[in-house]
Amino acid sequence: MAIQREFHAEGDLLNVKASGVDDSLADVNAYGSAIIQAALQNGSRRILCDETDLTYKLSVADTFESARFISENAPHVVKAAIVCKPQSFEDGQFWENVAVNRGLTVKFFRNLAEAAAWLDAKPQP
């Protein structure tokens, strides 16, 4: 089953709700590209992705390639928080490390409240 997604923009925040299974690199890259397009169309500077209904199935190599692909295509002025299932958190942190090492401001979380607080936090001087 492919990744289903819903977008809802509120000011500079793009809320994303994803469900299904990420069982192919092509589908994950299409999902990421759709988020990038929605953020650009709505002028979003912050993205909150709720992936708690999404099952991660990618291999380690494909997870790396997905993070690399998104890092090359996403605007680096966006701050993104991603919330995943607890059993997917390690995979999420690996994806995060690859993306952050390529210049993205992205972080994985276990719950929506922590993710929203991080998105709202002002950068420290």
* Alpha-carbon distance values, 89 to 44, 79, 85, 95 (Å): 25, 19, 7, 10
Look at the domain 4-120 and name its fold. Transcription Regulator spoIIAA (3.30.750)
Per-domain boundaries in the chain = 4-120
Give yes or no for a contact between 18 and 43, defined as CB atoms under 8 angstroms apart.
no
pLDDT of the chain, 125 residues: tens digit per residue? 689 999 999 999 999 999 999 989 999 999 999 999 999 999 999 999 999 999 999 999 999 999 999 999 987 778 999 999 999 999 999 999 999 999 999 999 999 999 999 999 866 55
